[in-house]
Amino acid sequence: MTNSKSNVTAIIPCYNDGQYIMQALQSLYNQTLLPEQIIIVDDGSNAATRNVLKQIEHPGVHIVYQENKGVSHARNTAISLAKTDYILNLDADDYYEPTFIEKAVEVLNDNKQLVAVSSYCRTFKKDKTIDIIEPLGGDLKDFIVINNARASSMFRKICWEAVGGFDEKMVGGYEDWEFWIAVLKLGGTIHIIKEVLSHYRVKKFSRDQKALQNHDLELRQYIYLKHKEVYEKHLDFYVFQLLRQNSLLRNSIYKVKNSKEYNIGSLFFAPLRYLKNKVVKR
């Protein structure tokens, strides 16, 4: 294990994740280059999670307790206490591979134009792999349609200071996407390490799922209006990408509707629809 100063503070916002946070912490303890400090902000968790947090006795871990104010506020609280140049974000239910900090620090040290470093990410549920996410990173234009990085990333604290932190109004989700856009507006790029160095837990009821299912349009509108000048500057690119996504979606729907499985399903449910229509007409 490398003992040299990493210039890294790891922050962990925690809300009712007592059953997972020890795995997240252990992934930081196991790093080949250790963070200089780990700051956990408990965002108004239940008693069970607080009991777990009270059992943590590590000289490098500092725990802050606050009323529930959302993940953006929790992250901002933690980062405001950090004394290092680099910030490592880790949600309490996720974890890193042991070499992430070492590799991310090396990349940031070697390229002053980089504002953040992320990596490929494995999504999993109950230890079963669901997918491997491969974001592209890039500059501002690469982030106006989709989030091309991950929340599990390392970034420069000076960038966080320059944009005023994470937007605390975005309690419904997508706050990390908006943060990257705000940071990249000032210049620079985000680098992606093309290795699976982070692991994202998919839970039955997750904040990201709620954001996608219930608030996607609302959150996208918020980001668009907040950074409208960016979208206007790259209007042709933005419209082309939306048209491309629409075309891909229409082709996918067409393939599904013309698949053998879809046709068999339609035939199976046809009698039920017929009976339903008869009942309604009566």
- Provide the pLDDT for residue 130: 96
- Provide the pLDDT for residue 270: 55
What's the pLDDT tens digit per position in 194-247?
999 999 999 876 556 665 666 788 999 999 999 999 999 999 888 878 887 788
Binned at pLDDT 50, 70 and 90, residue 120 comes out as very high
Query: Does position 74 have pLDDT exceeding 80, yes or no?
Result: yes
Contact between 94 and 13 under an 8 Å Cβ cutoff? The reply is no
- Pick the more confident residue, 250 or 96: 96
- Provide the pLDDT for residue 264: 60
Whole-Å CA distances, 152 to 143, 196, 222, 252? 16, 12, 23, 30
CATH homologous superfamily of domain 8-205?
Answer: Spore Coat Polysaccharide Biosynthesis Protein SpsA; Chain A (3.90.550.10)
Domain segments of the chain: what residues?
Answer: 8-205, 237-281
Say what the pTM is. 0.85
- Pick the more confident residue, 127 or 123: 123
List the one residue out of 121, 86, 117 whose CA is nearest residue 9. Answer: 86
* Residue 115 CB-density burial (10 A; 0-12 exposed, 13-18 middle, 19+ buried): buried
Contact between 174 and 83 under an 8 Å Cβ cutoff? The reply is no
What's the pLDDT tens digit per position in 29-69?
999 999 999 999 999 999 999 999 999 999 999 999 999 99
What's the pLDDT tens digit per position in 75-115?
999 999 999 999 999 999 999 999 999 999 999 999 999 99
